[in-house]
Amino acid sequence: MADLTTEFLGIKSPNPFWLASAPPTDKEYNVRRAFEAGWGGVVWKTLGAEGPPVVNVNGPRYGAIWGADRRLLGLNNIELITDRPLEVNLEEMTRVKKDYPDRALIASIMVPCEEEAWKKILPRVAETNADGIELNFGCPHGMAERGMGSAVGQVPDYIQMVTEWCKQYYDRPVIVKLTPNITDIRHPARAAQAGNADAVSLINTINSITSVDLDNMAPEPTIGGKGSHGGYCGPAVKPIALNMVAEIARDPATAGLPISAIGGVTTWKDAAEFIALGAGNVQVCTAAMTYGFKVVEEMISGLSHWMDEKGYTSIEDFRGMATPNVTDWQYLDLNYVAKAKINQDDCIKCGRCFAACEDTSHQAIAMSEDRTFTVKDDECVACNLCVNVCPVEGCITMEEVPAGQLDQRTGEVVSDEYANWTTHPNNPSAVAGE
Amino acid sequence: MATSHQASGIKSGRLSSVDIAENFGDLHAPYDAHEAAVAADRCYFCFDAPCMTACPTSIDIPQFIREIQAGHAESAAKTILDQNILGGMCARVCPTETLCEEACVREAAEGKPVEIGRLQRFATDTVMEKGIHPFTRAEATGKTVAVVGAGPAGLAAAHRLAMKGHDVVVFEYKSKAGGLNEFGIAAYKSTNDFAGREVEWLMQIGGITVEYDKGFGKGLTLDGLKAEYDAVFLSIGLAGVNALRAAGEDKDGVRDAVDFIEDVRQADDLSALPVGRNVVVIGGGMTAVDAAVQSKLLGAENVTIAYRRDRDAMGASRFEQDLAASKGVKLMFNVMPKEIIGNGAAAEIELEYTDIVEGRVTGTGETTRLAADQVFKAIGQTLEGAPQELAIEGGKIQVNDAGRTSIAGVWAGGDCASGGEDLTVTAVAEGRDAAEDIHKSLMA
């Protein structure tokens, strides 16, 4: 059986599944339940400065979108950082860490962008014996209006500055949690690295309005007739998170910077994908909020089953293996040619591929009177839309046209040479091929 | 004295009223909104959808299911009713397993089609429960049309004609409208007087008058109608019943299944409705299944459907056969009635085994006897009372694709007319299409 033990920044945990800093980790009661359920670690819900805690709205804090049978696909929240006193949280963290020494416990922190504020809270956190801290530069709602959370994460200089303070006043690992509400994730990651961060974690939630109540003409969730954008998370954001993780992992400036991946992790497979792109572990929130802490059991069994099948004995065996295959569009091989192929035995004759191709793509699928659908190789550009809209998995496949064969669409023989846009004659700034 | 389950002869009260009420509940419970959304989500929105082609009324099924999916069942209902004004009843009684749901690509893929019938019911129930009638009449044309027979074909034709602005008089032989929807369909498919409520809802279009207890042989003649109205539409159904041609057919306890089904549908108190202890139904169609199942639901101890050919030849769909079997009805194939035995009243039936020789049912000589205090004949209905001057084809009134009979100004549709299966949905399509043709010829 594969060993799921993870060592991230020297912090050991029995598996790579941590609960993200969020409502599920707001207090001792929940965190103890999480550890009993098998979670490898917990990032405690964000602590604020000492003094009267923040207050939350007393109306709905969450909004959602759903798929069939009300499967929750995306969740949005406008909850702020912990609304319980700092002292209470610190006492609880101390107790929990003492009782669960084998689990990771990280303190998430968000205090004003002033050196004094950080200098003051860090020793208090250190006393809890937490394994490290995570700087919450990500929450896009509420706190950002007060100059914290994503307001910091959107300014690389601030990220670097605060990270430096933390490295100065705290001697355990410092993880910088990034906001996706920026144009290029590499800049805040580089800033974190420049500030000597031990790792980055991402993504935090995305600015969002989940829906509009058309009777009251108000955004959801609605509090007294008004709504405010919240932070979006859950399965729907995973593709965005995968890309941002990959961008940091393959950026020469930050390559090798440890990453704790967050964003829609729902099953083992999501976690494996993030790890394949270079993440050292994953953080989960929405899946736990939707189904309860028990979901970690499937993540553990699924990941370990898959690793056994592949012959991986530890996370490190496959971590980052997909990163080198993430490239820029300009380097994609333009001599690679594929054609869609419809397996007639699997086809159920719904015609969705036909409608999609005929109406919205390249008119490359023929429909016969008896509803047999076939690909016209002389029209097919291998766009993959038919594969994506086909309700039968595996029925339509993209088949590579081997080098030496004729591409019926272009009338040219497929070349076995690699050629990309940088050298293409149509590219005005092409460099001459060698 | 209370009669028990086992009492011989034809008796009422074999089961308690509570059990009977439960037995005659909805065959398919209606969807609630969430169930409908989940069921609708299974639809793939096929291109040129096979389900739509399979529907005799060509309802745009993917469209109405998408409307349910998107949360506006009322538009879905309009999509259905535009094509099939009796979409509510068809949702309940259509043999969807041989029509739209058989054609559904998910049937081919998984053996589990989208439940189109139940979704159709969800949509149509929604508008009917709200009392919405989403159609209005066109400006009056001053033309009048007589419709003979207030069954599905007649009602569909009357509605379409009234909508086009014509004045319609519907003549109904019985004292209630609805035809087979009202009298001839198993009670568990049309609960809470759905057939009656649907007729009432349909009449909201206006411009339709119904005159009851009138028909051919009951005050009407084709010549009279032709003289008085601008057009005539005949939808008189099949009023005759085939004879068994077995000895003892005249004994007490032997009757037409359609009459029994009508009794069940019209009964105010089903526990007062008598049924045999040992019931044998002769036939293999939907009527046979409806009679057999309802006998069982009333508390008959042994119910057998005796059919002269094999299972595959049976008119009732496999779904209907399985439904009967699940209720405890025994299905016997390749047997035909030879004699009904009993002293005045039926007590036993002798059946002869059959072979199919060159397509014809032939007795093998081997016989068997079943206890039978009640025997239902369900071997088909025949045209009866059609005006003599009409051309007949295959035992039915000859019509062309537009429903025109051999006589100018006279159209026909539904079971009495040639072509198409004898189904509610087919009758609706024929009534609707004839109405369109009548309209075209009246306005020409």
CATH code at B45? Answer: 1.10.1060.10
Residues B211 and B265 in one domain: no
Q: How far is B38 from chain A (nearest CA, A)?
A: 5
Q: Do A348 and B47 touch (CB under 8 A)?
A: no
Enumerate domains of chain A plus CATH numbers: 6-325 (3.20.20.70), 329-423 (3.30.70.20)
Residue B171 lies in a domain: yes
Same domain for B370 and B387, yes or no, is no
- Find the residue in B nearest to A351 (Cα): B47
Hey, is the C-beta of B72 within 8 angstroms of any chain A C-beta? no
Provide the CATH number for the domain around residue B160: 3.50.50.60
B25 domain-assigned: no
Q: Counting one residue from A and one from B, how many pairs have CB atoms under 8 Å apart?
A: 36
My answer on whether B210 and B251 are in the same domain is no
Of A69, A351, A392, the CB nearest to B48: A351
Which site among B46, B112, B114 would you substitute to test the A interface, given the most A Cβ atoms closer than 10 Å to its Cβ?
Answer: B46
Interchain contact B38–A (C-beta under 8 A): yes
Same domain, B373 and B254: yes
**Catalytic site includes residue A395:** no
Do B210 and B148 share a domain, yes or no?
Answer: yes
Of B99, B129, B159, the position where a domain reaches its end is: B129
CB contact A343 to B (< 8 Å) = no
Same domain, B185 and B173: yes
Identify whether residues B223 and B257 lie together within a single domain: no
Residues B231 and B246 in one domain: no
Average pLDDT, chain A: 97
| pLDDT for res B1 | 42
Contacts of A215 (CB under 8 A, 6+ apart): none
B70 in any annotated domain: yes
Report the gap between the CA of B68 and the closest CA in chain A (Å).
13
Q: Could you say which of B37, B44, B48 has the minimum Cβ distance to residue A391? A: B44
pLDDT confidence bin for B2, thresholds 50/70/90: very low
- Substitution target in A348, A358, A361, A393 with the highest count of B β-carbons within 10 Å is A348
CB contact residues (below 8 A), chain B span 236-295, against chain A: none
* Residue-number span of the structural domain to which B69 is assigned: 33-129
A255 CB near a chain B CB, below 8 Å?
no
Inspect the interface and report whether the beta carbons of A351 and B34 lie closer than 8 Å: no
Which residue, of B337, B352, B380, is where some domain finishes?
B380
ipTM of the complex: 0.88
Q: What pLDDT score does A432 carry? A: 60
Number of domains composing chain B: 3
> What pTM was computed for the model?
0.92
- 3-state helix/strand/coil string of chain B: CCCCCCCCCEECCCCCHHHHHHHCCCCCCCCCHHHHHHHHHCCCCCCCCHHHHHCCCCCCHHHHHHHHHCCCHHHHHHHHHHHCCCHHHHHHHCCHHHCHHHHCHHHHHHCCCCCHHHHHHHHHHHHHHCCCCCCCCCCCCCCEEEEECCCHHHHHHHHHHHHCCCEEEEEECCCCCCCHHHHCCCHHHCCCCHHHHHHHHHHHHCCEEEEECCEECEEECHHHHHHHCCEEEECCCCCEECCCCCECCCCECEEEHHHHHHHHHHCCCHHHCCEECEEEEEECCHHHHHHHHHHHHHCCCEEEEECCCCHHHCCCCHHHHHHHHHCCCEEECCEEEEEEECCCECCEEEEEEEEEECCEEEEEEEEEEEECCEEEEECCEECCCCCCCCCEECCEECCCCCCECCCCCEEECCCCECCCCCCHHHHHHHHHHHHHHHHHHHHC
Q: Do B44 and A352 touch (CB under 8 A)?
A: yes
pLDDT by residue for chain A (434 residues), tens only, comes to: 789 999 999 999 999 999 999 999 999 999 999 999 999 999 999 999 999 999 999 999 999 999 988 999 999 999 999 999 999 999 999 999 999 999 999 999 999 999 999 999 999 999 999 999 999 999 999 999 999 999 999 999 999 999 999 999 999 999 999 999 999 999 999 999 999 999 999 999 999 999 999 999 999 999 999 999 999 999 999 999 999 999 999 999 999 999 999 999 999 999 999 999 999 999 999 999 999 999 999 999 999 999 999 999 999 999 999 999 999 999 999 999 999 999 999 999 999 999 999 999 999 999 999 999 999 999 999 999 999 999 999 999 999 999 999 999 999 999 999 999 999 999 998 876 44
Chain A residue with minimal CA distance to B46? A350
CB contact under 8 A, B47 and A70: no
Indicate yes or no: CB of A348 within 8 angstroms of CB of B38.
no
Residue B4 banded pLDDT, cuts 50, 70, 90: low
pLDDT value for B288: 97
pLDDT in tens, A381-405: 999 999 999 999 999 999 999 999 9
B residues 86-105 lying closer than 8 A (beta carbon) to A = 105
Same domain, B194 and B284: no
Question: For B251-262, what is each residue's pLDDT tens digit?
Answer: 999 999 999 999
Same domain, B125 and B191: no
Decide if B198 is inside a domain: yes
In a domain, B62, yes or no: yes
Q: Which residues of B touch A354 (CB under 8 A)?
A: 47
Confirm whether B1 is domain-assigned. Answer: no
Cβ–Cβ of A371/B50 closer than 8 Å? Answer: yes
Whether B278 shows a pLDDT value over 90: the answer reads yes
CB pair distance less than 8 Å for B106 and A351: no
Is B312 a domain residue? yes
What digits encode the pLDDT tens for the residues B97-134? 999 999 999 998 999 999 999 999 999 999 999 999 99
Cβ pair B109:A348 closer than 8 A? yes
On whether residue B136 sits in a domain, the answer given is no
* Residues B397, B422 within the same domain: yes
Mutate which of A214, A347, A350, A386 to test chain B, going by most B C-beta atoms within 10 A? A350
Q: Cβ of A352 and B45 within 8 Å? A: yes
B307 and B356 part of one domain:
yes
**A167: contact with B, CB 8 A cutoff:** no
Residue B418 has pLDDT above 50, yes or no: yes
Percentage of chain A modeled with pLDDT above 90: 97
pLDDT of residue B355: 96
